[in-house]
């Protein structure tokens, strides 16, 4: 009789152990080391070629670029991690920098933004040693899948180590973009995102959400000089539109000299893809020089169109930030977050027109 109860006790103990093990497995959070094929990386045309390195230019052409251009290409402006999940929470562990410029926030320069189905949810920033460890709950019901977008730093880089989801969460591909290829932006520090408060508030990111468009950010702070070596790399990208936004860095004479060649290189590879050339927005200290550059861009585009290239367009920068909206500037030269909102507003109707997208039916959602 005693033997019978002892055996039954062992059996019950084993059963309880199995149940506990099953519960532990069920309760285990889903840890996804980075990189992982379930986590889609957007904004890096040469990602595979570069062996997974988060560089905005191709490594095989490194020696053709000036050193500062290549160095700036290691900043992750425009880079996003995207996936769909039914997880109600997310945790991100990463290593980032700690440097900070006087007119930039730590989040913009070294942190992350988390968006859920195109709406801002949270941000993450590094501690004094550059470590990011951020948990965010309340993403939504477990029965519903939603697309998560993690925006990486605009002026630094972050090495994502892992993303952790709620127990039992599933991961699927993110929702598709509306276009088969990205919009490619080339330019200066303004193009790179200086000085939005957050990685998800560059004008390209705002327009990406409004148009459901992927994008590539090839802004290089202080070094958007219209160099043919960079133009050749830009022309390698399969794009639905190119936006040349590099008026801020070159002297007027350099802008006038390089713009035709830059466009020619793109046109050789993409005979009919829309090209938008932007002119300077308002700058309270440089209006004479800005006026020269506006005229250069306008005359150049007008001549190209008269010669038969009807897919090149000029966008007046003061449609983005004018004297009346100069509060969109952080230092008289770079845009703040409000300024990038204004830039997106000014550029959006032109992009919609060249991409064949109807005008927005409602007010601005960003």
Residues 195 and 332 in one domain: yes
Domain count, the chain: 2
Residue 251 domain flag: yes
- Residue 257 CB coordination number (10 Å): 13
Give every CB contact of residue 115 below 8 A, 6+ residues apart in sequence: 121, 148, 149, 150, 151, 200, 209
Residues 218 and 298 in one domain: yes
Distances from the Cα of 14 to the Cα of 5, 22, 24, 312, angstroms: 14, 12, 15, 74
pLDDT at 101: 78
Residue 347 domain flag: yes
Q: Which of 118, 137, 172 is the last residue of a domain?
A: 172
335 DSSP 8-state letter = B
Residues 206 and 340 in one domain: yes
321 burial type by CB count under 10 A (0-12 exposed, 13-18 middle, 19+ buried): buried
Residues 129 and 259 in one domain: no
Q: Which of 111, 142, 172 is the last residue of a domain?
A: 172
Residue ranges in the chain whose pLDDT is less than 50: 1-7, 9-25, 366
The boundaries of the domain holding residue 114 are 31-44+79-172
pLDDT at 332: 83
Residues 197 and 280 in one domain: yes
pLDDT at 361: 65
Residues 147 and 293 in one domain: no
Q: Which of 119, 144, 172 is the last residue of a domain?
A: 172
Rg of the chain, C-alpha, whole Å: 24
Cα 162 from Cα 204, distance rounded (Å): 26
Consecutive H or E run containing 353: helix 337-355
User: Against a cut of 0.85, is the pTM above it?
Assistant: yes
Strand partners, 313: 276
Question: Under a CB-based contact definition with an 8 Å cutoff, are residues 158 and 75 in contact?
Answer: no
Residues 292 and 343 in one domain: yes
Extract the tokens encoding 45. 């045309």
- Which backbone phi and psi does 184 adopt, to 5 degrees? -110, 125
């Amino acid at each position: 009789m005693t033997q019978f109860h002892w055996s039954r006790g062992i059996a019950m103990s084993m059963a309880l152990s199995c149940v506990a093990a099953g519960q532990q497995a069920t309760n285990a959070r889903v840890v996804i080391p980075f990189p992982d094929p379930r986590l889609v990386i957007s904004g890096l045309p040469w990602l595979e070629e570069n062996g997974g390195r988060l560089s905005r230019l191709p490594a095989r052409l490194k020696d053709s670029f000036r050193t500062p251009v290549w160095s700036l290409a290691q900043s992750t402006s425009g880079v996003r991690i995207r996936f769909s999940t039914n997880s109600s929470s997310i945790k991100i562990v990463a290593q980032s920098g700690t440097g900070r410029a006087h007119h930039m926030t730590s989040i913009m320069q070294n942190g992350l933004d988390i968006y859920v189905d195109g709406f801002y949810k949270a941000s993450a920033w590094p501690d004094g040693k550059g470590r990011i460890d951020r948990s965010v709950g309340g993403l939504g019901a477990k029965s519903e899948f939603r697309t998560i977008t993690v925006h990486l730093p605009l002026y630094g880089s972050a090495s994502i180590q892992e993303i952790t989801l709620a127990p039992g969460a599933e991961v699927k591909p993110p929702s598709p973009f509306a276009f088969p290829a990205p919009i490619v932006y080339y330019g200066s520090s303004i193009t790179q995102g200086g000085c939005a408060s957050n990685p998800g508030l560059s004008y390209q990111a705002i327009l990406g959400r409004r148009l459901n468009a992927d994008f590539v950010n090839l802004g290089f702070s202080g070094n958007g000089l219209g160099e043919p070596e960079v133009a050749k790399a830009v022309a390698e990208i399969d794009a639905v539109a190119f936006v040349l936004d590099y008026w801020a860095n070159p002297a007027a004479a350099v802008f006038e000299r390089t713009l035709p060649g830059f466009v020619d290189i793109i046109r050789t590879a993409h005979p009919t893809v829309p090209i938008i050339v932007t002119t300077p927005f308002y700058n309270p200290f440089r209006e004479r020089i800005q006026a020269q550059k506006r005229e250069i861009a306008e005359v150049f585009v007008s001549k190209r169109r008269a010669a038969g290239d009807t897919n090149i367009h000029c966008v007046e920068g003061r449609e983005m930030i004018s004297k009346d909206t100069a509060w969109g500037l952080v230092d008289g030269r770079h845009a703040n977050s409000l300024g990038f909102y204004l830039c997106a507003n000014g550029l959006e109707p032109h992009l919609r027109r060249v991409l064949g997208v109807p005008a927005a039916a409602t007010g601005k959602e960003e």
